[in-house]
Amino acid sequence: MKRLTLRLGLLLVGFNLAVGLLTFFWTPHDPGAMIGGRLSPPSWTHWAGTDRLGRDFLSQVMVGARIALLVGAGATLLGGAVGISLGVLAAYARRGLDDAFAAALDILIAFPTLLLAMLVVAASETASLGTAILAIGLAMSAIIARLARILTKRVLAQDYVTAARCSGLSWARLTRTHVLPNILPTLAVALAAQFGLAVIAEASLSYLGLGAPPPNASWGTLLQQAQSTVHRAPIGVILPGLALVSLVLGINFLADGLRDLLDPEREGAE
């Protein structure tokens, strides 16, 4: 079973990744070219029809994969780097500082991602892919930091770590040799799950006009634009919706598969 979810996850994510990469070299039509009629139905020329401006819809949805993966990966990298660094550092901190850090994380986690994104956009005066990555990454970093802190503290409480510290091992080396190897598998699973959430968050931000600015064909933007034409051209909602579901589902499967693979206890249980 665990192999199946992993394979399904790899398949779906791999497909989206392949489509996203392909768009750098090829799309059925130029996604910005107004070459068709208004809301043309699917045809041999335009497999998924056209939008209101007569642009090829399939090409736009394909470009959307690139944006979703870019923002998802960017936010996960940012959230992971900031979150793990802060979490590990906090675990080494003195009790009072550590408690304050934990409280600050709780506050940050309680802050809705969308609200945080609005603040980031307001601070930068303009919405862009960068602000979307920053906002989602920052929100994610709090979750990752909390997890990293707990995991690190757990590792630091082990007898062999105490022995290593007594033998004079520096904290940097301790982190490199004992802490990170022990916490990274669990964090990898958490980051994979957060990747899926980041993709949804990006679509939500774009839907609200706070994500990728036009003419970036984010799936959220495409869904927003198709809202008023859903009765005339339902494919405008169905296709980006399916694409979004396939990527997020794939990422979730992948996270599940990774967890099964990296968690020896679960393997034993099976």
Minimum CB separation of residue 231 from other proteins in Å reads 4
Give the integer Cα–Cα distance in Å for 152 and 223: 41
| 8 A C-beta contact, residue 44 and residue 24 | no
- For residue 225, state whether it binds other proteins (rule: CB under 8 A): yes
If the CB atoms of residues 173 and 232 are measured against other proteins, the closer one turns out to be 232
Give the integer Cα–Cα distance in Å for 33 and 115: 34
Q: Contacting other proteins (CB under 8 A), which of 10, 11, 53, 184?
A: 53
| 8 A C-beta contact, residue 87 and residue 144 | yes
If the CB atoms of residues 181 and 215 are measured against other proteins, the closer one turns out to be 215
Give the integer Cα–Cα distance in Å for 147 and 82: 12
If the CB atoms of residues 45 and 228 are measured against other proteins, the closer one turns out to be 228
- For residue 41, state whether it binds other proteins (rule: CB under 8 A): no
Q: Contacting other proteins (CB under 8 A), which of 71, 127, 132, 223?
A: 127
- For residue 124, state whether it binds other proteins (rule: CB under 8 A): no
- For residue 42, state whether it binds other proteins (rule: CB under 8 A): no
CA angle 219, 249, 87 (to 5 degrees): 95
Near other proteins in 160-219, by CB under 8 A: 208-210, 213-215
- For residue 221, state whether it binds other proteins (rule: CB under 8 A): yes
Question: In which residue are the tokens 């709090």 written?
Answer: 142
Give the integer Cα–Cα distance in Å for 37 and 238: 20
Give the integer Cα–Cα distance in Å for 83 and 237: 35
Near other proteins in 75-94, by CB under 8 A: none
Check the CA dihedral 143-146-152-157 and report its sign.
negative
If the CB atoms of residues 164 and 208 are measured against other proteins, the closer one turns out to be 208
- For residue 52, state whether it binds other proteins (rule: CB under 8 A): yes
Give the integer Cα–Cα distance in Å for 163 and 149: 20
DSSP-derived 3-state class of residue 177: helix
Question: What's the gap between Cα 162 and its chain centre?
Answer: 36
The site that binds other proteins (CB under 8 A) totals a number of residues, namely 26
If the CB atoms of residues 41 and 215 are measured against other proteins, the closer one turns out to be 215
In the shown chain, the binding pattern of residues 227 to 256 toward other proteins, with x for contact by CB under 8 A and - for none, equals xxxxxxx-----------------------
Closest Cα partner for 139 from 112, 121, 120, 118?
112
Minimum CB separation of residue 55 from other proteins in Å reads 8
- For residue 54, state whether it binds other proteins (rule: CB under 8 A): yes
Q: Which residues bind other proteins (CB under 8 A)?
A: 32-34, 38-39, 52-54, 126-127, 208-210, 213-215, 221, 224-225, 227-233
